[in-house]
Amino acid sequence: MATKRVTVKDIANQLNISVGTVSKALSGKPGISADMRDKIFRTSEAMGYNVNRLAQSLARKPIRIAIVYPLAWEQYYGDIIRGMNDALESLRDYNVSGEFIQFTSLYSTDELFQISDKLIQKEVEAVILCPASVTACKPCLQKLKAHNIPVFLVGNDFDPEDRVGCVRVNAQMAGRLASEILCYITPAESNLVIFIGDLSILEHREKVDGFKNELLKDHYLLQTYETHDEPEVAALLTKKALREIPNIQGIYIATGNSLTICDVLKEEKVDHKIKVIATDLYDTMIPYIQNRTINAIIYQHPGEQGRKAIMQCYRYIIDRSIDTSQVLINPRAVFRSNL
């Protein structure tokens, strides 16, 4: 028996909304909230709705979104980019495309300025920037804004007056979650330390603040180490912590370098004596979770961050409005039992 073709009316009935609202959302027309458009997209996909949007897209100027991200932390940004590609694929029939541009120097304003010049010449509709350094990225942000190119941030936030939107993890919640877990799995009077990337970065500061706010009174945060997400620095600081702080019972690794720090703990033969909460989940980390070197992971959903960043940007281009300028993705805890 042939499967009944899903229509716009079927989607409207499913959501109890008008056919006109569904039609506007599917054709990319303005006048619909971002949440409703997303709900219609998801429902249409779940119901198996398929429409030839070629005629619709031909009538509209192609939408070109530039994604600028650092050549660093390949696994983390790789997950963000995969999420972006998934979103771009879902928008392909809407004549939306993405151009991915990497910058090699994390702290070079000049390189980002050159990239900005090229994007201004290309007259892209919008830019999504993955900021690795506030100092390096801020002039780029201001330059694009001066040329009326909307800029969106993903992964970190700064200067809300210069960017249109931002998608990032709820860093306060990530810190609170790590603190709560560590307090549960370590005894009273435990000494704890945090390894963070850079306290000049908003997301990193918020993780530390969240950790402190959730910390029980009989647990003590003795030190916060800034590794600048450099493995060599992380290794040296881990050895320094073990040498200078007596009886460390818990470590929260709030950004990268989880494996480097765990390898030092193993080298010093304390890998199963100290409880470890790490950040983000990669294939290389699974053995450390399975053998309980890492007791829990705070997963930041980088793929979802990337997907939502594309959708936020697209909806702004279509509607020239935005429901929420900052989208916070709630992290979740991953244990050995729910890998």
Strand order of the sheet with strand 219-226? 219-226, 190-196, 248-253, 275-279, 296-299, 332-334
Give whole-number Cα distances, 76 to 187, 234, 257, 301, 306, in Å: 32, 17, 11, 10, 11
Same domain, 89 and 204: no
Amino acid at 69: Y
Question: What pLDDT is recorded for position 137?
Answer: 83
Assigned domain for 56 exists: no
Question: Mean pLDDT by 10-residue block, N- to C-terminus, for the chain (339 residues)?
Answer: 71 91 77 81 80 52 92 87 95 90 81 91 94 80 91 88 93 98 96 94 95 95 93 96 94 93 96 95 93 97 96 87 87 95
User: What are the two backbone dihedrals, phi and then psi, of residue 248, each rounded to the nearest 5 degrees?
Assistant: -70, 125
Rounded CA-CA distance 164/156 in Å is: 13
Percent of the chain with pLDDT over 90: 63
Same domain, 282 and 200: yes
Q: What is the dihedral of CA 26, 31, 37, 39, to 10 degrees?
A: -120
For residue range 95-128, list pLDDT tens digits in order. 899 999 998 877 777 888 899 999 999 999 999 9
Same domain, 218 and 146: no
Same domain, 71 and 27: no
**Residue 182 zone, left/alpha/beta (φ > 0; ψ -120 to 50; rest):** alpha
Q: Hey, is 128 helix, strand or coil?
A: strand
CATH number of the domain that residue 190 is part of: 3.40.50.2300
Question: What pLDDT is recorded for position 302?
Answer: 96
Tokens of 159: 């200067």
The total number of structural domains that make up the chain: 3
Same domain, 186 and 285: yes
Bridge partners of 169, per DSSP, are 329
Rounded CA-CA distance 95/272 in Å is: 53
Q: Which of 61, 66, 56, 70 is nearest to 25 (CA)?
A: 56
Question: What pLDDT is recorded for position 125?
Answer: 94
For residue range 251-289, list pLDDT tens digits in order. 999 988 899 999 999 999 999 999 999 999 999 999 999
Assigned domain for 151 exists: yes
Question: What pLDDT is recorded for position 55?
Answer: 46
Q: Hey, is 120 helix, strand or coil?
A: helix
CATH number of the domain that residue 27 is part of: 1.10.260
DSSP 199-232: TTSHHHHHHHHHHHHH--TTEEEEEEEE-TT-HH
Question: What pLDDT is recorded for position 227?
Answer: 94
Assigned domain for 101 exists: yes
Amino acid at 152: F
Assigned domain for 3 exists: no
The residue segments making up the domain with residue 186 are 171-299
